Structure 1
Amino acid sequence: MKVLLYTGSLKLVDKSGIGQAMKHQKKALEILHIPHTSNRKENYDIVHLNTIFPNTLWMAWLAKRSGKKIIYYAHSTMEDFRNSFIGSNLFAPLFKRWIIFCYNHGDIVITPTDYSRNILRTYTIKPPIYSLTNGIDTAYFKMTEAGRQRFRKKYQLKEEQKVILSVGHYMERKGILDFVKLAKKMPSYQFYWFGYTNLRMVPSNVKRAIACKLPNLYFPGYISREELRDAYAGSDLFLFLTHEETEGIVLLEALAAKIPLLIRDIPIYENWLQHEDSVYKGRTLEDFEQISKAILEQQLPNLTIKGFQLALERDIKIMSHKLVEFYQ
């Protein structure tokens, strides 16, 4: 059995969760010594597709024509396409029709969570749909004092300064508007948002939020995986205010890094992450402000050990065995 991990248009998604998922899939195959390639001209038995670009669909057609098996990894739904880019809400129904067309070219469809699988099951998708986490390299995202010191030295942070961190594209869906509002309401804490989206692609309300000049609010842009690991280590709270996800790789990274988490209470995390057990949850801006302050001032129990156990359940070594089962 040899797997083609198709990397067409990788540059377009390399800095996103899909790009990270593709790296995880490659490592999963390496862990179990499964033959694989990214060169479509080589011989292969299965093609693993992660994107919904036209060239990916073309690859599916070529594979089907050659009698190969096709796995489509469904990272996207109409629900998490909304509130992303300019015009995304208007084009969401068309986007749904397109991804259905793409996913129907697979022999099986895999999606990161039961939540996203249940959404996709309401679509007219014919192949069987299974759920499998994107996975996380828990050994890599370890919290270290050296990483903390590197991060705080780079951004000239004093040890007593408390840092609130978030990671993601500049999207309303990711909760960036509430993140900026909280920075205004909490001037004694430092707010850092890592990630980047071309501003020509985002609506005016997001542009205004990013342009907001606050002495405690920073948008340094996209950083490397190594720098992101240091950022987790050097921060005091990971604030994940997303309104919709199919899983959330940065959430897995934060759990692995043992940083306190405060997340928006949304359906995808209802049965997985329990409030006041492994993470803290909020629904309103007032919730986020009050709980953030209580975590940072150590007025609430530290839940990071239980959160880390959840990350271990999604470790890339476990994910690799399940992925190979789907290949077989």
Structure 2
Amino acid sequence: MRVLDYLELSSQLHRAGIGTAHDQQVEAIERARDAGADVEVVTSPWPDGDPVEGLTNGLRGRGFLADVDVVHLNLIGPASLALARHAKRTDTPLVLHCHVTSEDFRESFRGSTTIAPALRRYLRWFYSQADLVITPSEYTKRRLEAYPVTAPIRAMSNGIDFGSVADHADYRDEYRERFNLDGVVMFAVGSVFERKGLTDFCEVAERTPYDFAWFGTVDSGPQASPTVRKWTQHPPENVTFSGWVDDKPGAFGAGDVFFFPTKEENQGIVVLEAMACGKPCVLRDIPVFREYFEDGHDCLLCETREEMVEALHRLADDPDLRERLAENARETAAEHSLERVGEELVATYEGLLS
């Protein structure tokens, strides 16, 4: 069985959660193959990954695109649409992976909230073409069913690549010194958007004496929202925005409490990464986190800024609580191994082919 697992704009999205999710899919499938599954994964639609070779093959009557048994697409743009239409024409099983909803598109960049209703209509049509839509959570599955998307939908965790953050502790001193961080550090990781809880992050920081750090890309072009410009150009005295960092483990090594007041997620790979590093987590109480995490067991879930401030104070003052949450968080992250994801993906492909 040969699978095309394709991410449109992969070179531009390697820093984004979609890029991480796609890379983990590929790694999960390769681990399944190493464990004995009869599966091969390719990431380019062109034969041997070469568009020139594809053109040559097409002119010789052998087909422009790679010969695969299943097409698995991760984005919603024109190249993905063309491949989806090709899969339908050639009767090749088509899997569309939902990383984008109109809800999580809001408050991402300038104008995104205005565009979101039109995007919802497009996504309803686009995802309905699939033989199967995969969502990272039951929460996102329910979202799509309400659009309504008419294709079958299955929830499947994005998983966590433990190797990508395994050496986080080795970076701790270097990153804390580089960004002038001291004491119990509250931190977030990922691109800086208002949808990720930027205003809450900064206003909570203003009410506490701790150092806060947000490791991730900050948009500075015309697409940057006024809110992002406001907070990143004039942050509270105890808040640091690092911008992009080359060593992701360094971000997790530098911080002590993962503080992620995001308003909307389809799963939240970054939370699993923090948990894999044994970081106690303070999260906004949103439905998708209730699906995967348990308040007071592997995280603290908060609805208001007041609750967030109180939770951060509790963790800063109580090392035993930090360690208890951290240990349980490691166990939660272990339930999302790429080996398990690979088994589920291969079984899904086989079911479509049969």
Same fold (TM > 0.5): yes
Q: Which residue of 2 aligns with 1:267?
A: 287
Task: Give the Cα–Cα distance (whole angstroms) in 1 for the partners of residues 7 and 290 of structure 2.
Answer: 33
Structure 1 CA distance for aligned equivalents of residues 320 and 266 of structure 2: 29
TM-score after normalising by structure 2: 0.86
What residue in structure 2 maps to residue 298 of structure 1?
318
Q: Is the 8 A contact 1:151 1:230 kept in 2?
A: yes
CA radius of gyration, larger in? 2
Q: Give unmatched runs, 5+ long, in structure 1.
A: none
Residue in structure 1 matched with residue 258 of structure 2 by the alignment: 238
Q: Aligned to 2:78, which of 51, 54, 57? A: 54
> Which residue pairs with 2:105 in the alignment?
81
Question: Per the alignment, do residues 123 and 108 of structure 1 end up closer, same or farther by CA in structure 2, a change over 3 Å counting?
Answer: same
Q: 1:194 matched to which residue of 2?
A: 215
- Aligned match of 1:104: 128
**Whole-angstrom CA distance in 1 between matches of 2:171 and 2:113:** 40
Q: Aligned residue for 1:31?
A: 31
Deviation of 1:156 after TM superposition, in Å, equals: 4.2
Aligned 8 A contact 2:168 2:252 in 1: no
1:179 maps to 201
Q: Secondary structure at the match of 1:263?
A: strand
Structure 1 segment 125-204 matched on structure 2, within 5 A: 125-142=149-166, 145-158=169-182, 161-186=183-208, 188-199=209-220, 200-204=222-226
How far the C-alpha of 1:308 sits from its partner, in A, is: 1.1
Instruction: Give yes or no for contact 2:179–2:242 (8 Å, CA) kept in 1.
Output: no
Whole-Å separation in 2 of the counterparts to 1:145 and 1:167: 16
Give how far 1:136 is off: 0.2
Residues 20 and 271 of structure 1, relative CA distance in 2, 3 Å threshold:
closer
CA distance in 1, matches of 2:347, 2:291: 25
Is contact 2:187-2:212 (8 Å) kept?
yes
Kindly indicate whether the alpha-carbon contact (under 8 Å) linking 1:45 and 1:69 is maintained by their aligned counterparts in 2. yes
Q: Counterpart in 1 of 2:231? A: 209
Deviates more, 1:302-311 or 1:235-244: 302-311
Alignment: residue pair count? 323
State the 1:43 CA deviation. Answer: 1.3
SS of the residue aligned with 2:72? strand
Name whichever of 135-144 and 302-311 sits farther off.
Answer: 135-144
Deviation of the 1:211 alpha carbon: 1.3
Aligned partner of 1:2 in structure 2 is 2
Contact 1:294 1:300 in 2 (8 A): no
How far does the alpha carbon of each residue in 1:123-175 deviate from its partner, in whole angstroms, 9 at most, with x for none?
221211000011101244336542323322433445xx221111222221100
SS in structure 1 of the partner of residue 154 of structure 2: strand
- Structure 1 stretch displaced more, 27-36 or 205-214: 205-214
C-alpha distance in 1 between matches for 2:168 and 2:215: 19
Say if 2:189 and 2:251, in contact at 8 Å, map to a contact too: no
Q: Which amino acid aligns with 1:238?
A: F
Identify the structure with the greater helix proportion.
2
Under a length normalisation based on structure 1, what TM-score does the superposition of the two structures give? 0.93
Secondary structure of the structure 2 residue equivalent to 1:48: strand
In structure 1, C-alpha distance between the alignment counterparts of 2:203 and 2:310, rounded to whole Å: 14
1:116 paired residue among 140, 144, 149:
140
CA distance in 1, matches of 2:21, 2:193: 20
Partner of 1:93: 117
Letter aligned with residue 13 of structure 1: L
Name 2:342's counterpart in structure 1: 320
Q: 1:103 to 1:144 in 2, by over 3 A?
A: closer
Distance 2:173 2:295 in 1: 30
- Following the alignment from structure 2 to structure 1, what is the Cα–Cα distance between the partners of residues 249 and 199? 24
Q: Distance in 2 between matches of 1:16 and 1:195?
A: 9
CA–CA separation in structure 2 for the residues paired with 1:37 and 1:137: 19
Q: 1:52 to 1:60 in 2, by over 3 A?
A: same
Query: What do residues 244-276 of structure 1 show as CA deviations (whole Å, max 9, x unaligned)?
Result: 110011011001110110001112122431211
For structure 2, list consecutive stretches of 5 or more residues without a partner in the other structure: 34-38, 47-65
Deviations 1:268-307 (A, max 9, x none): 1224312111101111111111210210122662311111
Residue number among 257, 261, 275 corresponding to 1:255 in the alignment: 275
Stretch deviating more after TM superposition (194-203 or 47-56): 194-203
Q: Is the 8 A contact 1:5 1:38 kept in 2?
A: yes
Q: Which moved further from structure 2: 85-94 or 291-300?
A: 291-300
